[in-house]
Chains A and B, each alone.
Chain A
Amino acid sequence: MSKLRLNGVSKAYGATLALRRGDLEIAAGEVHVLMGSNGSGKSTLCKIIAGSVRPDGGQILINDKRVTISGPQAARAAGIGIFYQELSLASHRSVEENICLSALPVKAGLFIDRAAMKARAARYIALFSEVSGEGFHAEALVGNLRADQRQLVEIMKALASEAPILIFDEPTSALDRAQVDRFFEILRDLKGQGRGIIFISHRMDEITAIGDRVTIIRDGETIETLKLSETDPATVIRLMVGGASDMPAARSSAPAVVETGAQTAISVRSLSGKGFRDVSFEVAKGEILGLGGLHGQGQSALLRAIFGASTVSSGEVTIGGERYDAKSPRDAIRRGCAYVSGDRGRDGVISGRPIIENVTPIHYLRDRLMLARPSSLKNKAMPALEAMHTKFASLFHPINSLSGGNQQKVIIARWLIDRPDVLLLDDPTKGIDLQAKADLFALIRQLAAEGLGILLYSSEDAELLGNANRILVFNGGSVTRELTGDDRTRYNLYQAAYEAA
């Protein structure tokens, strides 16, 4: 008997078919990994199970009995708990309130039973007590917590549902190693209790560590289900990408040294600001400088400060030989900087507007345009979009009609219309599929070859190791080590990431 089964579930948003034919079978006592590129439909599938999206067709069976899930409350009642990728927390409520929010214990039908709520929340908070970090306690307002702590709260909230079927959609994206290890321990416990767990992640090492079976979804359709013990990463990736493609280009090594005599694209001296301290380096034209280390150690902060989106308290930046002082992104763009963010929802996508309006804003600024002529803009936009193999129906369709990965490609394309001098990449491949990643890095290496200076921060080691000529490893806001040449190994990267500054 399977705990959860989906047969032929489908969902269309207007003209876009998000899920064509979703099949899934979860057994009791397993961690079932769901893999697929962005836009493949796996998030939609999970949201359908959790009740927040209404399916167009198909069947859902729990314990082999057909059920209709009419909304999140019904899903709860049916025994389904979910961790949302975008988090479903109320930032002005406390940790314990958020954990118990879906079923606040009441006295006399009206008043919150604070004691019961505290006790209940405490059980789940205790599970992570050693790894939750400073400033984390039951009464803390969720909005005051760090990103990894907020993710922990969302995990606790999912666990608190005590549901026999649990869905975790990218639960580890902001967590550090210790937190992930603890979380996996808990998952193994739950497995032992006979629960069915769906686990979505983009990280191969995590998947192989915790998963039992894997189901691959591609273009809205379930392709295959495999036992992880009987397959290897290469096969899985091949199934995800489809067609006869080899390993993504990210695995190839980048040259250790850029040709000598190249001019400096950007030079940074003793720069300090919000989130980072005393950083110095030089990037030559044509060089890709990687920023490594654990998440949130100053890499993003540095990039944003250079781009003028965050404050600089001291130090000097020089671009093209001239003193550079950007007080806002507008200044930075005018001086030839480009910045691609990993958080496209917050920093990049102008949602609801047509694709062309999402590609042109930088061009307007660089060219000091006042009128927007569709025909001339089209001629500028198309090459940039095509360089990234962006898939879209028409330039005038809203950007929301595209999948996440393609949206990110559009955002990246906007920086390519006019050649920047310095390209700042802040985890640009977060949440996009493997094919798109490969396209992006091919493009980045080409831009480097054309003479741009590139700063690359990526939360995935493979991307750094595969593309950066040199790597600066950050910890606690400062650079602990610079890895060059043959020193660029995963081992060294980790070691430096844990070193004190």
Chain B
Amino acid sequence: MSSVTSFFKQPLVVALILIVALLYLGQSLSPGFASADQILRLLIVASLLGIVAAGQNVVILGGREGIDLSVGGVVSLSAIIAGNVMNGADGGILPAVLACLAAGAFFGLLNGLGVTLLRIPPLVMTLGMLGVLQGLLVVIRQGIPSGRAAPGLSAFVTQPLALGIPGIIWLWIVIGLFMAFMLNRTVFGHRIYAIGSNEHAAYMAGVPVRLMRIGLFMISGMFAAIAGLCLLGYSGSSFANVGEQYMLSSIIAVVFGGTSLAGGKGGYTGTMAGALLLVILQGILTTVNIDESGRQMVFGATLLLLMLFYGRGRAMRA
């Protein structure tokens, strides 16, 4: 295979090409779709997804069928916590951030303990945790109001911060840089890949496998919590199960980024492109005037089509 072809087959490149193509398609279907304003709006939504996807990415990279189905619940819970701690006051932002991080870390810790100590498959553990979180949300909603975002937070998410770009997008960029650095230039990052590729070999090389895996789930919880906080800033107040859609979307974004669900392979830059791709796709489907059934069918079919480009399994006969 020539180096040109292999360059174009990289997930990141494919994603970028598709993004441009979809923007073009969107613009032709609905003029104004690719306007600067709209693109910024898409980027904000993509940032929210991208932040959740960062945590998901790390859990998946760690291997052992790592996946976090509870992120949606953490996002919703975090939005409520943030709203109540802040209660519309700028002074409440810092405590809200800390409270959200603590909540995310807590549920991540529970997930991590279930997966490492009791060796429950991550799919099952995080699924159960999701059920618990959703139940908890019902309880909380009865008791307390949904709270309000502080104006500072809303501005951070929706208003331009520098160079006309809202703060949240900058946050996403910073996270992207941080992830690239962490995964490639730190021992911690290398260890994530090690436990994802061959956990036993990593164990024999002295990598603290269990601690790391718990850490990965805590990181996922914390990223989801931050996303929930920002989501509050985006919508002003939290409403029922606002985080639900993030679960499978974050997984798809990671897959589109070229990370294998088996672990040990991939990176975050691709996931960022994947998140953007997904958000644009959903955006197009919303603007186009077809009913719900058509929208779902097109979305499902398009996802399948896109998956043909990303991480198809190895053929049995090489």
Docked-complex contact A361 and B318, CB < 8 angstroms: no
Q: Are B318 and A13 in contact (CB under 8 A)?
A: yes
On whether A352 and B264 interact (CB within 8 A), knowing A329-B203, A346-B201, the answer reads: yes
Verify A348–B317 contact, CB threshold 8 A: no
Cβ-based interface call for B9 (8 A):
no
Contacts of B208 in A (CB 8 A): 330
Q: Are A347 and B200 in contact (CB under 8 A)?
A: yes
Distance in angstroms between the alpha carbons of A307 and B184 in the assembled complex: 29
A309 near B204 with CB under 8 A, answer: yes
Task: Please determine whether B318 and A53 come into contact, CB atoms closer than 8 angstroms.
Answer: yes
A386 to chain B minimum Cβ distance, whole angstroms, is 21
State how many residues of chain A have any CB contact under 8 Å with chain B: 37
Please tell me if B36 contacts chain A, counting CB pairs below 8 Å: no
**Is A370 among interface residues, defined by CB-CB distance under 8 A?**
yes
Q: Are B193 and A353 in contact (CB under 8 A)?
A: yes
Is A126 on the interface with B (CB-CB < 8 A)? Answer: no
Task: Judge whether A136 is part of the interface by a CB distance below 8 angstroms.
Answer: no
Is the CB of A364 closer than 8 A to any CB of chain B? yes
Q: Tell yes or no: B205 within 8 A of A by CB.
A: yes
**CB < 8 Å neighbour of B187 from A71, A347, A364:** A364
List A contacts of B198 (CB < 8 A).
346, 349-351
Q: How far in angstroms is the closest Cβ of chain A from B185?
A: 5
What's the A-B contact tally at a CB cutoff of 8 Å?
Answer: 90
Residue-by-residue, is A317-342 near B (CB-CB < 8 Å gives 1, otherwise 0)? 00000000000111011100001010
Residues of A within 8 A of B193 (CB): 350, 353, 357
Please measure, in the bound complex, the distance between the C-alpha atom of A371 and the C-alpha atom of B194, giving whole angstroms.
Answer: 16
- Does residue A406 face the partner (Cβ distance < 8 Å to B)? no
A145 within 8 A of B: no
A373 within 8 A of B: yes
Q: How far is the CB of B201 from chain A (nearest CB, A)?
A: 5
A401 at the interface (CB under 8 A from B): no
Q: Is the CB of B317 within 8 A of A346?
A: no
What residues on B are CB-neighbors of A32 within 8 Å? none
Instruction: Determine if B197 and A351 form an interchain contact, defined as CB atoms under 8 angstroms apart.
Output: yes
Binding site for A on B (CB under 8 A): 1, 184-191, 193-194, 197-198, 200-208, 264-265, 316-318
Interface pairs A-B: 3 shortest CB-CB:
A361-B205, A333-B206, A330-B206
Instruction: Provide 10 A-B residue pairs closer than 8 Å at the C-beta atoms, listed in order of the A residue.
Output: A13-B318, A52-B317, A54-B317, A346-B201, A349-B198, A351-B197, A352-B265, A361-B202, A370-B188, A372-B186
Taking A361-B194, A370-B188 as known contacts, 7 extra A-B pairs with beta carbons closer than 8 A to each other, sorted by chain A number, are A51-B317, A54-B317, A309-B203, A330-B207, A348-B201, A353-B197, A370-B187
